[in-house]
Structure 1
């Protein structure tokens, strides 16, 4: 039986890494056993499964985020914890960057929401208009001339 009859990507990837001299010695039963072993390890769908290739010029970079119910044994968890420690310099830098971006976004959203909820003052305060120095020009614009200055009684502090 030839390996081309197996179209499973995991099997193809495994088989591609085996020396062709060795791969040609496998019997049909051995190939079937390998296939069954890979099928039993088949990935089950995660509740959250995000896989992205990040286009950074000059770098081949990807990001994977998986979440779901824990199905690994305690022994496997212990061995993976030593193989893949959580607190590495790369992970720490990622989390610091993530927290900075999250903080900036949260601040921006809350300040926008808060400013839209804060009522603007509808009170008006009289204010002198310094560029109008003539009584007739002041009264022509609908303002009041008082004590040698042009006063606008409808000036809003939000102006």
Structure 2
């Protein structure tokens, strides 16, 4: 299986604009993404999503099969940055406030919370997981789970002793 190891945005070839991004692959190849803006790989790197420079569409590229597909619906970079891509490229997190986009159907759902950090998806694409900090000492910190199929918000509390700012 081929996966992305890193994204390079250096001017490697004379005369080529520095905005041409490249993906370094696990098999040693480098793929030019001449039309990509802000690529975001899946956690294991077999898919990458980005805004296509030519028309602003969000596209998902399967690095193993070499296929590229546009996400249905009208997209532009004004929607906000691509933040995360789920395993198998099924869901993308876009913008602020965060929206979860089904990259196959084009369905969009705004999250009922704003993640602070440690955003991820469950390996089976069933849940979106985020860390939410209240930013106030003594207030609870939550790990938020959002059920992607049922659009249900599940909240889990982290005791103070596990907080990053706990004394």
Give the greater-gyration-radius structure (CA). 1
Q: Normalised by the size of structure 2, how large is the TM-score?
A: 0.22
Q: Normalised by the size of structure 1, how large is the TM-score?
A: 0.23
> Which protein has the bigger helix share?
1
